Amino acid sequence: VDGKLIAPVRPSVPSLKPGSEYLLEVVVRTMKVGHLFSQGTADSNEIWIDVALENDGKTIGRSGGLDEGKEVDPWSHFLNVYMLDKDGNRIDRRNAQDIFTPLYNNQMPPGTGQVVHYRFKVPEDAKGEIDVAVKLQYRKFDAKYMKYIYPDKEENDLPIVVMSSDTVTFPVDGEAALGQAPAKPEWQRWNDYGIGLLLKGNKGSEKGELIQAEAAFKQVEALGQAEGPLNLARVYIKEGRLEEAVEALGRAVEADPPAPPWTVAWFNGVVNKQNGFLDKAIENFRGIVDDRSQEMIDRGFDFSQDYVALNELGQTLFERAKMERANEAKRNEFLDRAIKRFEQALFYDSENLTAHYN
């Protein structure tokens, strides 16, 4: 999609032109949840985004609607896991014993978000206003599963819960309007948008919508928030732009207030490891798991129990040991330190695959 981004919507609401096409960006964020959303029976939980556009009482666009049997439009955006068996069939009867691999996993980690894109065309004869209503809907089981349990029922009558909703009214072929400003500050809205773009994929060619994420985080930095350069560093690391990542981390430290030192240390460690500065990376990761500042104590943070950080430290120590080919005693010292960190990770997670493998 090539066009000018008009964001954030509200307090200023742009006017739409009849016959023109637009891309509507919907941001969903998880708050105050310490695990993946939704977690649990994520293959059978039915959580989706319902978007409806109306003009003069007529529906001109819809995603996430229900059919006569109350089955959700299959082209909706679902926040679940689409799990497959070995033959490529969906796990749709709670037959967990047949799980083989996910086709996609649209769950959201704690404190993150998603961006969902909707393209629509304003009708040529549209006048007045276009009302956009967005809802995050939840139902415990989908229609196909309920049909399996109750084959004689004509519809899925399980209750649908609206978890979150929002509405925006766009003027048509007129002047821009003013709407009520959301409670969230502007920088946070840009940041949520950028995080959703950043997290759109992590492998191969699907590493997120990084150009758009970079632009969003630059807006956050321009608004004076440390989250801007900190998240720019995330983008640059994903793109392999390590020098720019270092510069962004430096700006995050200098911001007022600065970015959390443990987060900066983590990304400095990642960059130093990729650059081959293993001793610096070891110190970055060691400081995260071993040192506890007063701020960390006050906020209840103890990364000595973080098996991800422990594994990263162990792997870096192992890589450092490889450099001591001519000094067996030094090499063994690094290997012993690596083993201790992996054992530490296994103490907190006895089935941790990374720690066992290393």
Domain limits of the chain?
A: 12-178, 184-259, 277-358
Same fold, 12-178 and 184-259: no
Question: How far apart, in whole angstroms, are the C-alpha atoms of residue 100 and residue 328?
Answer: 44
Question: How far apart, in whole angstroms, are the C-alpha atoms of residue 241 and residue 233?
Answer: 9
Residue 179: the pLDDT is 81
Q: List the one residue out of 281, 36, 16 whose CA is nearest residue 172.
A: 16
* Residue 83 phi, psi (nearest 5): -95, 140
Question: How far apart, in whole angstroms, are the C-alpha atoms of residue 191 and residue 113?
Answer: 10
Residue 203: the pLDDT is 67
The answer to whether the CB of 236 falls within 8 A of the CB of 248 is: yes
CA 66 to chain CA centroid, Å, is 27
Q: List the one residue out of 101, 77, 82 whose CA is nearest residue 92.
A: 82
- CATH for 184-259, options being 1.10.1060.10, 3.40.50.10310, 1.25.40.10, 3.30.70.260: 1.25.40.10
- CATH for 12-178, options being 2.60.40.2550, 3.30.70.141, 1.20.1250.20, 1.10.10.10: 2.60.40.2550
Instruction: Report the residue count for the chain.
Output: 358
- Measured on CA atoms in the order 226, 228, 234, 237, is the torsion positive or negative? negative
Q: For residue 290, give every residue at least 6 positions away whose Cβ sits within 8 Å of its Cβ, in sequence order, or none.
A: 304
In the chain, what is the straight-line distance between the N-terminal and C-terminal CA atoms, in Å? 44
Question: How far apart, in whole angstroms, are the C-alpha atoms of residue 279 and residue 95?
Answer: 48
Residue indicated by tokens 């390590």: 242
Asked if residue 11 has a cis previous peptide bond (ω within 30° of 0), the answer is yes
Our separate counts of H helices and E strands in the chain read 11, 10
The answer to whether the CB of 285 falls within 8 A of the CB of 291 is: no
Residue 181: the pLDDT is 82
Question: How far apart, in whole angstroms, are the C-alpha atoms of residue 281 and residue 323?
Answer: 14
Residue 1: the pLDDT is 64
Residue indicated by tokens 């997120």: 208
Maximum CA extent, the chain: 81
The answer to whether the CB of 89 falls within 8 A of the CB of 51 is: no
Q: Does an H or E element contain 264, and which?
A: helix 261-275
Q: How far is CA 191 from CA 108, 111, 213, in A?
A: 16, 11, 9
Question: How far apart, in whole angstroms, are the C-alpha atoms of residue 24 and residue 14?
Answer: 12
Asked if residue 38 has a cis previous peptide bond (ω within 30° of 0), the answer is yes
Residue 206: the pLDDT is 65
SS3 187: helix
User: Mean pLDDT in runs of 10 for the chain (358 residues)?
Assistant: 86 95 95 88 92 96 94 95 96 93 92 94 96 97 92 94 96 88 91 94 73 96 98 96 97 96 97 97 97 93 95 98 96 98 97 96
Tokens (6 digits) for 213: 């994420």
Residue 205: the pLDDT is 58
Can you state the angle between helices 261-275 and 307-322, rounded to 10 degrees? Answer: 30
Can you state the angle between helices 261-275 and 278-290, rounded to 10 degrees? Answer: 150
Q: How far is CA 62 from CA 54, 165, 195, 209, in A?
A: 9, 15, 26, 25
